[in-house]
Chain A
């Protein structure tokens, strides 16, 4: 009996298992346990949540493998970890640790300002950020088996995640109305591989799972992203920078499942304590924004 590992179906498939769920940033094994108990479908293991990366400044790199292994040992759900854009050796290290998904993330300081990792070279699947359909399909072309909006991580301001989700989903809606002979010009215009543009038109959706990320802080934010049409939600700083992480985490999980039920959303939004303080993206200097990282 022939056995095949690391296939495109396997890589895309794990992301399909995460749909309708919440992936939470955690910085310790204890956080990871809280996230799992709250109903997270996966955790993102990292040394600092994006809000702290912003506050600390300096170069943000892959986390200590020891920390990632501790988090892997502490939970039964999938564990993701971040490497820098273009840093394929960090990715090799993460793959060897047994992480289930690698996020080639703009939240860390890019290692290559021209090229992303050729993700087809790995058995472990990758997720990448995007702001529009062209960027998303370039990443899929390089082998990303899952896509997320970039939003503006570590701000608690959902406005950029909304902008990016609306742009990506709006681009797809436009694409579905185009004539087949217009697809080559459109591919050129958005800088995306023609075959993937064609596939996206045929499917009427992104060819891989598409989550929202970057600024989600409340159950209502999470449900908003779901109603806009994403497949699930990443929550970074929004949980462990809030007053009652366990309760907020559980409320956001419930909000993603029942994203169309306003009475349940009202119920889970009650008495959650302080949300993360947050930073208003529209008043932020351009140099501090990280969504522009990625090419």
Chain B
């Protein structure tokens, strides 16, 4: 009989540990993320999509703007997945590179600005919850994540320019590099 009781306790314990973790997050992470989401959603509504589209049109010509400034601002303002729609202002040749950079900005900025990609927040939060458990501040990690992302995502976009040229040769096609002003 004792054995059965022990077994049942062990079984319930599996879920009790999960439940404790869950309610801990509900009390700490959920309200914080919710407040951030509300503030960011409001800001985005007030600034409007048109302005970011204008920035996108002007960014197409310069790699630094194209793979660093625009995807960073775009992911902040339009969030995932609509940040990818700004790629329509890019010449065909640079669309894959813009995608490569923007896809990564949807994560590296997500630590501080969870509104960008709430559905995949646990890439950051999974690891950061370990940091929190140690009683260390998550923000330090989030800021370094963003800064390293800023540099490496730019390099990622820029490297894609070369891989695109390589695949162009492989497939014997040429993609247009012309910037079209009208979206």
A binds B: no
Which B residues fall within an 8 A CB radius of A? none
